[in-house]
Chain A
């Protein structure tokens, strides 16, 4: 019960924030906002029922910093690959067994890998994640492991070994 209340409170705060940005801080359409926020809340409960995930803000900050730093680094590398006369591509597909428990954590992992240049998740099965890399000479394993740690910290999840 407390879990449901807490989830409702956090999510409605989040949706109110998004709505507030969307209407650029105007207040004259508050009733439309009220309906939209309620609908968003109901939809979110259907798609992602209240669960044991506890969000850590410091974990989120660490994740963001890591994310932007490596996406910049990798983006420059891929852009350079595209521009230079000899692209020198060595693509390959790797199979990685995620240490994160199934569910939201793994979905975030697959999406983060997609946004980090040089790697692309091509399939997520119940036990494995398949990652396509542009340069097989660089180890993707270590990178995925450190993203996993950041996500585990952010959602306060336990990593399996």
Chain B
């Protein structure tokens, strides 16, 4: 096993752990805003690690660049979608969950 494969394995496994954490967050967090956070961020980090892990396995430069392009596109996609969902939820009056009883401004 060479050093490239080792790097690849480490990044891929860390990425998979982030995906698991994102899913756990999605199931456990109390309201749509916190769930959005779990999904949009932790999963994005998971995808980031997966992409970097695969970069080490890429047979040629063009493929590596394409993976980076896909990753960047997905980052922009997640950010846009989560903003739209959160804004729409606010407009529809989905009340954010609070740890203690507070008055929402």
A–B proximity contact (CB within 8 A): yes
User: Is the C-beta of B11 less than 8 angstroms from some C-beta in chain A?
Assistant: no
* Range class of the A interface residue count: 35 or more
User: Is the C-beta of B7 less than 8 angstroms from some C-beta in chain A?
Assistant: no
Q: How far does the Cβ of B7 sit from chain A's closest Cβ, in whole Å?
A: 16
Q: Is the CB of A117 within 8 A of B86?
A: no
Residue A120 contacts which of B37, B76, B99 (CB distance < 8 angstroms)? Answer: B37
User: Is the C-beta of B79 less than 8 angstroms from some C-beta in chain A?
Assistant: yes
Q: Is the CB of B42 within 8 A of A75?
A: yes
Binding site for A on B (CB under 8 A): 17-18, 21-22, 24-25, 28-31, 33-34, 36-38, 40-42, 44-45, 48, 62-63, 65-66, 69, 75-76, 78-80, 82-83, 86-87, 89-90, 96-99, 102, 104-105
Report the 9 A-B pairs with minimum CB-CB distance, sorted nearest first. A82-B25, A79-B21, A117-B41, A75-B45, A114-B79, A24-B62, A122-B86, A111-B79, A90-B99
